[in-house]
Amino acid sequence: MDISLDKKTSTEASIKVKLKESDYQPNVTEKVKEYARKANIKGFRPGKVPASLIKKMYGKSIMVEEVNNLLSKSLTDYIKGENIQIIGEPLPDQDKAANIDWENQKEFEFDYDIGLVDDFKYDISNKQKVKSYQIELDDKTMEETLTNIKKQFGEVTNPDEAEEGDGFFGEIKENEGDLTNQALINWEDLAKKEQKNFLKLKPSDSIELDPKKSFKDEHTVSHILNVSREKATELNSKLTFTVKNINRTTPAELNQELFDKVFGKDAIKTEEEFLNKVRETVEGNYSKETDYFLDQSVKDLLIEKTKIEIPTEFLKKWLLISNEGKVTIEDIEKEFDEYVKSLKWDLIKNKIAQDVEIKVENEEVVDKAKSLILQQLGGAGAAEQLKDHMDGFADNYLKAENGQNYMKLYSEVRDEKILDHIKESVTISEKKVGLEEFKKIVA
């Protein structure tokens, strides 16, 4: 066997594999004998089928299979042994492979195109600067939050006639089509010009709606009709909504009863404590969004600042072939920039992990699984009740899906450790912002 590399550019190369009969024939002979031992052919006792008959019947397919097996293993071993950093997978020369004469040829030659990762350098020194944001609730957002809490824990009644702010449960139908759904329409779901038409409505009343004008946006139409966003956008037929119930919520008072409902019995004693706790909780929830945005900013910075040559044409070809007809070249062109960004981040983080020897211990993966399970079962409040069962829960979860859950969490822990290392190395400046300002920054 002869394997050689022809490097055309820093990111593109080809590998040529030459096979002689002596490379694959021993495996073919052994496989023929194995077939002969197991074959069940009329006229021959089990295990007594002549090898010559097996060779005549299956010789070609056995040879093709063994040559391909040898090729795959040899190619993988060569790439690994020569420490060739490839992108994607080797792509065989299909035209050359199609012209092989499997009946008569004894020696074979195969060509593969490969995409290479040229050596690159990254910089995670304190010269690299990233902004981190901390959201502070302004008075407007705090007031909206309190209004929502009072409404959430308020008293719901079903009056006989609608007023401003009510919600409406009923059946919505497409006038010229088959769409129908049981829907809850909130006052806020309606376009401002439509809201006045819902005043004075009573149970069993019907009202005609225009899907393009009666609601605040297409997402609302999609939700109310329980259809896709695309389907909601395409709707041209008017809708008829028949009221079954009118829902009116009387907001809860800011008192001890509300404090207990929101944070637990006697956890909060005064209005000041309640307001501080609400602010702390909401800002804590938003911190997850700011943490995520910081991580994305770190990734974007490194992708932008790290020069990595990518074999563009090879990548597009590999994506098209490897997805086996599931995507078109137009799909690939549309998503290619995002794919390249993701690819570059994978290359950068893997190199950092190798350089600083980031390791993930089994205990860290188990702890991650326990944390995930607790979030799903009620958070920290459930920890004490479930402490005697957590090891079993975690073990079952990590073994599920043929070990895929374990590998997923392993990757998450590894990625978190890589990002933590980067954030400890670069310069991060913190800035306090209001919620609306943060939304604009993200947008």
pLDDT for the residue 379 = 54
CA dist., res. 142 & res. 52, Å (int):
86
pLDDT for the residue 380 = 52
Q: How far is CA 211 from the centre of its chain?
A: 32
Domains 2-116 and 155-250 share a fold: no
Secondary structure of residue 155 in the 3-state scheme: strand
- Structure token pair of residue 280: 């702390």
Secondary structure of residue 13 in the 3-state scheme: strand
Please, where are the H alpha helices in 378-434? 383-386, 390-399, 404-425
- Structure token pair of residue 436: 């609306």
CA dist., res. 167 & res. 70, Å (int):
69
Residue 311 burial by CB count (10 A; 0-12/13-18/19+): exposed, middle or buried? buried
Output the CATH code of domain 2-116.
Answer: 3.30.70.1050
> In which region does residue 321 sit, left (phi positive, over 0), alpha (psi from -120 to 50) or beta (all else)?
alpha
Partners of 92 in beta bridges: 112
- Write down the residue that tokens 């090891």 correspond to: 391
Model confidence, pTM: 0.71
- Structure token pair of residue 418: 């890589």
Secondary structure of residue 433 in the 3-state scheme: strand
CA dist., res. 228 & res. 103, Å (int):
55
CA dist., res. 223 & res. 97, Å (int):
52
Secondary structure of residue 50 in the 3-state scheme: coil
CA dist., res. 78 & res. 72, Å (int):
10
Residues 6+ apart with CB under 8 A from 124: 302, 352, 421, 422, 425, 426
CA dist., res. 109 & res. 216, Å (int):
65
Q: For every one of its 443 residues, what pLDDT tens digit does the chain have, with 9 covering 90 and above?
A: 999 999 999 999 999 999 999 999 999 999 888 888 888 888 887 777 888 888 888 889 999 999 999 999 999 999 999 999 999 999 999 898 889 999 889 999 999 999 998 889 999 999 999 999 999 888 888 999 999 999 999 999 999 999 999 999 999 999 998 899 999 999 999 999 999 999 999 999 999 999 999 999 999 999 999 999 889 988 889 999 999 999 999 999 999 999 999 988 888 999 999 999 999 888 888 898 999 999 999 999 999 999 999 999 999 999 999 888 788 999 999 999 999 999 999 999 999 999 999 999 999 999 999 888 887 775 555 556 667 778 888 899 999 888 899 999 999 999 999 999 999 999 999 999 988 899 899 88
Output the CATH code of domain 155-250.
Answer: 3.10.50
Output the CATH code of domain 287-442.
Answer: 1.10.3120
Residues 6+ apart with CB under 8 A from 81: none
Q: How far is CA 73 from the centre of its chain?
A: 32
Residues 6+ apart with CB under 8 A from 200: 161, 162
CA dist., res. 232 & res. 325, Å (int):
29
Residue ranges of domains in the chain: 2-116, 155-250, 287-442
pLDDT for the residue 139 = 87
CA dist., res. 329 & res. 38, Å (int):
46
Element holding 75 (H helix, E strand): helix 51-81
Q: Strand 427-433 and strand 2-7: pairing?
A: unpaired
Q: What's the chain's Rg over C-alpha atoms?
A: 33
